[in-house]
Structure formats: C-alpha cells, structure tokens
Amino acid sequence: MQLRTQGKLIGFVPTMGSLHEGHLRLVDVAKEKADVVVVSIFVNPTQFGPNEDFEKYPREETADVEKCEQRGVDIVFAPDAGEFYATNFSTFVNEELCSRGLCGDFRPGHFRGVATVVLMLFNVVRPDLAVFGKKDAQQVAVLRKMVGDLFVPVTVVEAPIAREEDGLAMSSRNRYLSAEQRKLAPRLHATLQAAVESVRAGERRAKAVQEQVAAALGEGEAFRVQYVGVVDAETMQPVEEIAPGRTLLAVAAFLGATRLIDNVDL
C-alpha cells in the first residue's frame, strides 16, 4: 500500500509455482518495466478439469520463494488454497470470445477459472502491469479482453516464449516427460517453424498449414495431436486465410500422458 502511495510502479507475475527459467524471464520483464515486482504462487483449483492434474501438479513453495529472491522479486504472495476462495464463493468471470476454440474446446471451464483467479489476484495485489508468457497465447488474449471489457486498471504485458536450447517451450509439465519423450518433444516447435517457412514462401491457406502440421506430428505416431489451430492473433478465432503478422498457429499434442502446447506467429 505504501509503495503505491510513494508512486512506485507495481509489476505482477501470477504463477502456479514450480518455477522454472520461463517464469523467471517473466520476472525479468516485470523488473524492466516496474519499480516493485510481486510474484504470486497459487495452484488455482478452478482452472483444472475433473480429470486433469490438479492433485499431481508440482508444489515446491520453499524452492520457489528462494528462486524469486535470487531473481530480485520484492514480494511473494502465496495464498492458502482454502483461504483464497471463500467457502461460499459463487462469482466467476466468463470471457466468451477468445476463450472459444483451441484449449477452450478441450478444457471446459479452464479460462473461466483463469479469468476469475487473475481478477481476484489483481484486486488483492493491485498491480499497474502484469506479465504473462506467450506460450499460453489464448490465456493472454482472454485476459486482455477481460481487462478491456471490464475496465480493469492493469496493463497486460505479453512476454516471449522461453525455450530450451533445442526449441522446446519451457513448461512445468515438461518434467513429466520420460527421457525418450524429452528427446522427441522439440519436434513440436520444429514443426511449427516449418509452417512459418511455408508461410514465408507464400502459403496463405490456413487449412494447408494445419494439414502440414498435423501430418508432420502424426509421423512416427509419437505425438497424439489434440488440435492445430490457425487463428486471428487477437480474438483466437479461426481464419481461412493467413494474414502475416496477425495470425497465430497454435498446437496442443500429447506425448504419452503429457500434454504440450506451443504456438508461433505466422
């Protein structure tokens, strides 16, 4: 509270903990843009489906707090799961455009849970800006829309996808991969890059790009593709024709039981 009255700009990085370099890069972005950086650690139950990995989701708060300290985070906010949601909680935020399609089709209620908890966190932390990773591009689109529609006084900043050296997008779920699956995983990004090349070479048909990606990932049967979407980069709604700079290629695929997502701008 005092920090705000002193005119300090407050940057916020909401996380579900189990922090890796990808999260810490979000912290770096927040530090560049704000005077004070707050990180929240909260595994949000309302954004997990009944058959998803809420119980199994890695929790390592002590190590997370240490990582935050080392990276220069000023405040860590880690509410207790039982305390953050009131027992009679009954108010949810439903964004109804950007949350349609892509992950929204396969994770019913997910973006409702995300939008709700992010608004709750914004109301408690009261940041000037909040940084989210582009790996979850649909999440960023949903939150930008929520902030715009509901006049939430927070600037949403999108940070680039942090990748391992071999191209795999960093994710807390990568740790679920076996050694063999980990070797195969970078193919996801390589396949998206190949699609970027096709578009650079003049391909504009969304369907052709979708088929190219699905076929490349289907080879060898390692990946089980959930979706390949070619969408408007702002609304996340499908397009037929690619408009370079305004179109996103997003994919979700399983390697064994682990669901990976990735995306590129076309």
Binding site for ligand PAF (CB under 6 A): 14-16, 44, 47, 114, 117-118, 136, 139
Active site residues: 23
3-state secondary structure of 250: strand
Residue 177 CB, nearest approach to ligand PAF (Å)? 19
Quick one: which of 230, 224, 233 has its CA closest to 212?
230
Pairwise CA distance, residues 194 & 64, whole Å:
36
C-alpha dist (Å) from residue 44 to 18, 50, 190, 232, 250: 13, 13, 31, 28, 24
- Minimum separation from the CB atom of position 16 to ligand PAF (A): 4
Query: Is the CB of 236 or the CB of 266 nearer to ligand PAF?
Result: 236
Nearest distance from C-beta of residue 242 to ligand PAF, angstroms: 27
Shortest Å, Cβ 142 to ligand PAF? 10
CA distance 258 to 249: 20
In terms of DSSP H, where are the helices of 6-109? 21-33, 61-70, 81-84, 103-106
Nearer to ligand PAF, 15 or 258 (CB): 15
What are the helix (H) ranges across 164-230? 179-184, 187-200, 206-218
- The rounded distance, in Å, linking the Cα atoms of 161 and 170 is 8
Cβ count near 170 (within 10 Å): 17
What's the farthest any 2 CA atoms get from each other in the chain?
59
In the complex with ligand PAF, the residue whose CB is nearer, 114 or 177, is 114
Q: Which of 253, 220, 7, 14 is nearest to 132 (CA)?
A: 14
The residue among 147 and 242 lying less far from ligand PAF, judged by its C-beta, is 147
Nearer to ligand PAF, 18 or 247 (CB): 18
| Minimum gap (Å) between residue 136 Cβ and ligand PAF | 5
